[in-house]
A and B are shown apart, each in its own frame.
Chain A
Amino acid sequence: MKILTLVRQVPDAEARVKINAGSVDLEGTTLVIDGMDEYGVEEALRLREGGASVEEIVALAVGPKRVEDALRTALAMGVDRAIHIETDEKLDPIALSRIVAQVAQAEGAGLILVGGQEADWDSQALGAATAERLGWPQLTWTNELRVEGDSLTGRHDVDDGNESFRASLPAVVTTQQGLNEPRYPTLPNIMKAKRKELRKDSLEQYGVQPTVRVVNAEIQTRARLNKMIDGKDPQTAAEQLLDLLRNEAKVLA
């Protein structure tokens, strides 16, 4: 089985996001491999280490030149090779799924791992849309995964709790916290990663256009009251808080 693991590059959670002329400007922002995607990379490696028959692990990223760094991180973690479709075009998940499906078919992938909700577009759509394009089953928000032959079993979160599941490969799995603890690339592996294949494709090869336009972006911080109540006397503080919630905010009866 060949595993395709999707990687996005996103601002570090603590980084400040800037807006420039109505769109998000990542210039000078600390960018990292998306945390949820990282669980996917780690899981691919663990499936192989755990004895599943994994022929090759390929990391795929679509985005500007800098995205190479995220792919290098995946390579240093242990992925065998990487494909970078270099473009400055902003592709929405539905458009992007068209590319992923093409790559999966060309590579003969049997399992696709992707983050449940990436921290840039706050979207959960890529895994599901890719599964639909390929006609594959999907397991979202997975926090336990086993592969034996072409059988996939595990556990994932649903609206009101969680489910254990069984499905057959090929399949798309979206990953999340709790699935594993991603490893840090070691220095020797970072060095080794430099010699691994990182293929560059162009967007034109895939004939994909965005289906959604970004019209504007803004940072809307809600003005908060920031009223501090002195906590020295718990009784008085409690009464004061309840009074504000009842009579000023009017959110309590």
Chain B
Amino acid sequence: MILIVAEHAGGKLAKSTLEMVTAARESGREGPVTVLVLGQGTTEIANAAAAVADQVLVADLPSLATYNTELWAAATTQIAQEGEAHTVIIGGSRSGREYAPRVAVRLDAPYLEDAIHLASTGAALQAQRYTYLARVTETVEAEGPVVVVSVKPGAFAPAAPLAAAGEQYDVELDLPAPRVEVTGRSVEKTSRVALTEADVIVTGGRGVGNPENFSLYVEGLADRLGAGVGATRAVVDAGWRPYAEQVGQTGKTVQPKAYVALGVSGAVQHLSGMGKSRYIVAINKDAEAPIFKVADYGIVGDVNQIVPALIEAARK
């Protein structure tokens, strides 16, 4: 079987899980597509997973109420072994890419990380992935009785519901005691759509001028367009915006339909996080800014003048 570990947040199945189902079906690997739901209070999540998968395995436990690397690695490994999975698919989120290697080591399996495309060639599973700050697309392959894959968010289309919902089964797990104690937690809440789920992202760079302008123009335009808000490293380093909004090598990788970069110069580390967006819009005073080289639509101009006009025009 193909085992997918569901990603979910706030009691809802994440879009990335639907994308993993598509990845499983496109991979050419045989067997039922099985989604494993780890968490607590997972009824809605499991039902949503059942709509797209052949079967759903549910571990609804208090000890799984919050993500933990060691518990997720142990649970996934156990279910993969018991279900004789030949392919284990894990989300390419920060947490997914944290426990997936542990699962690979436990299963003595090769690991294809952050795949954007999957295909079977004979006994091997072939994956495409970005390397060298996303400047190169590499095709890698591995074979074995079992292969572990993590899938880049946004790279596959979300799976559509099947005619009949998959069966759900409860599973029992033998979990270790976590060795890392979480002593505090700060969740960067936003009322806006999450960056990795957003169809449109408006990002601000230093060219926006100051934190007040960021709120006025970047957030203002994002709200008008129903978009997510992103920030460059420089803006986050300057303390204007929380780290959760950072897009780039050291922040989030995003692939929206439209990426609107306001006052963003376009350093290669930033491009590596957003360069695969379907359409890129750049507004910047500096006509020489590297962002214009990758832009589909560009306006050389002052963000402080263009964006208010844009917000006004979008109202119509």
Residue numbers of A with Cβ under 8 A of B are 10-11, 13-14, 17, 19, 24, 36, 92-94, 97, 116-117, 119-126, 128-129, 131-133, 137-141, 153, 155, 157-168, 176-178, 211-220, 222, 224-232, 234-235, 237-239, 241-242, 244-245, 249, 251-252
Complex contact B73–A132 (CB within 8 A) = yes
Stretch at the interface among B50-58, B92-100, B204-212: B92-100
Return the CB mask of B136-165 against A: 1 if under 8 Å, else 0.
111111101000000000000000000000
Contacts of A228 in B (CB 8 A): 292, 298-300
Contact A212/B309 with A159-B94, A161-B185 known, Cβ cut-off 8 Å: no
Complex contact A120–B132 (CB within 8 A) = yes
Confirm or deny: B191 has a beta carbon within 8 angstroms of a beta carbon on chain A: no
Partner of B139, one of A116, A124, A132, A216: A216
Contacts of A213 in B (CB 8 A): 140-142
Q: Which residue of B lies closest to A10 (CB)?
A: B132
Complex contact A19–B136 (CB within 8 A) = yes
| 19 pairs from A and B in contact (CB 8 Å cutoff) | A17-B135, A24-B136, A122-B114, A125-B111, A132-B101, A140-B98, A155-B184, A158-B94, A160-B9, A164-B183, A166-B181, A167-B181, A211-B144, A227-B297, A229-B297, A235-B312, A237-B299, A244-B297, A249-B279
Contact A237/B184 with A13-B133, A137-B70 known, Cβ cut-off 8 Å: no
Complex contact B141–A167 (CB within 8 A) = no
Complex contact B102–A251 (CB within 8 A) = no
Contacts of B185 in A (CB 8 A): 161-164
Complex contact A231–B133 (CB within 8 A) = no
Which applies to chain A's interface (DSSP): helix, strand, loop or mixed? mixed
Q: Which residue of A lies closest to B77 (CB)?
A: A132
Give B250-273 interface residues, CB cut-off 8 Å to A: 250, 257-258, 267-269, 272
Contact A251/B141 with A122-B134, A128-B98, A238-B309 known, Cβ cut-off 8 Å: no
Complex contact A137–B314 (CB within 8 A) = no
Complex contact A132–B299 (CB within 8 A) = no
Give B56-80 interface residues, CB cut-off 8 Å to A: 67, 69-70, 73
Q: Which residue of A lies closest to B148 (CB)?
A: A94
Contact A251/B199 with A125-B100, A159-B67 known, Cβ cut-off 8 Å: yes
Partner of A249, one of B140, B283, B296, B300: B296
Contacts of B184 in A (CB 8 A): 155, 163-164
Complex contact A13–B94 (CB within 8 A) = no
Q: Which residue of A lies closest to B194 (CB)?
A: A160
User: In the complex the two chains form, what is the Cα distance from A155 to B296 in whole Å?
Assistant: 39
Partner of B97, one of A124, A157, A239: A124
Contacts of B233 in A (CB 8 A): 177
Given contacts A122-B132, A212-B112, 16 further A-B contacts (CB under 8 A): A11-B132, A19-B136, A92-B111, A97-B105, A123-B113, A133-B105, A137-B179, A165-B181, A177-B233, A214-B139, A219-B137, A224-B293, A237-B306, A238-B312, A251-B278, A252-B200
Complex contact A167–B180 (CB within 8 A) = yes
Which applies to chain B's interface (DSSP): helix, strand, loop or mixed? mixed
Contact A94/B101 with A119-B132, A165-B182 known, Cβ cut-off 8 Å: yes
CB distance from B173 to the nearest CB of A (A): 18
Q: Which residue of B lies closest to A98 (CB)?
A: B105
Contact A158/B95 with A238-B306, A249-B296 known, Cβ cut-off 8 Å: yes
User: In the complex the two chains form, what is the Cα distance from A94 to B102 in whole Å?
Assistant: 9
Contacts of A141 in B (CB 8 A): 94
Partner of B132, one of A24, A92, A155, A158: A24
Contacts of B69 in A (CB 8 A): 128, 138, 140
Confirm or deny: B289 has a beta carbon within 8 angstroms of a beta carbon on chain A: no
User: In the complex the two chains form, what is the Cα distance from A168 to B178 in whole Å?
Assistant: 12
Contacts of B140 in A (CB 8 A): 92, 212-215
Confirm or deny: B249 has a beta carbon within 8 angstroms of a beta carbon on chain A: yes
Contacts of B297 in A (CB 8 A): 225, 227, 229, 241, 244-245, 249
User: In the complex the two chains form, what is the Cα distance from A97 to B109 in whole Å?
Assistant: 13
Contacts of B42 in A (CB 8 A): none
Complex contact B180–A139 (CB within 8 A) = yes
Complex contact B281–A241 (CB within 8 A) = yes
Contacts of B276 in A (CB 8 A): 222
User: In the complex the two chains form, what is the Cα distance from A244 to B301 in whole Å?
Assistant: 18
Complex contact A94–B279 (CB within 8 A) = no
Q: Which residue of A lies closest to B290 (CB)?
A: A14
Confirm or deny: B244 has a beta carbon within 8 angstroms of a beta carbon on chain A: yes
Contacts of A24 in B (CB 8 A): 131-132, 136, 138
Contact A122/B268 with A128-B101, A215-B139 known, Cβ cut-off 8 Å: no
Partner of B244, one of A120, A161, A245: A161
Complex contact B180–A92 (CB within 8 A) = no
Contact A129/B280 with A92-B110, A94-B111, A231-B301 known, Cβ cut-off 8 Å: no
Contacts of A123 in B (CB 8 A): 113-114
CB distance from A36 to the nearest CB of B (A): 8
Partner of A129, one of B67, B105, B139: B105
Contact A252/B296 with A153-B183, A212-B112 known, Cβ cut-off 8 Å: no
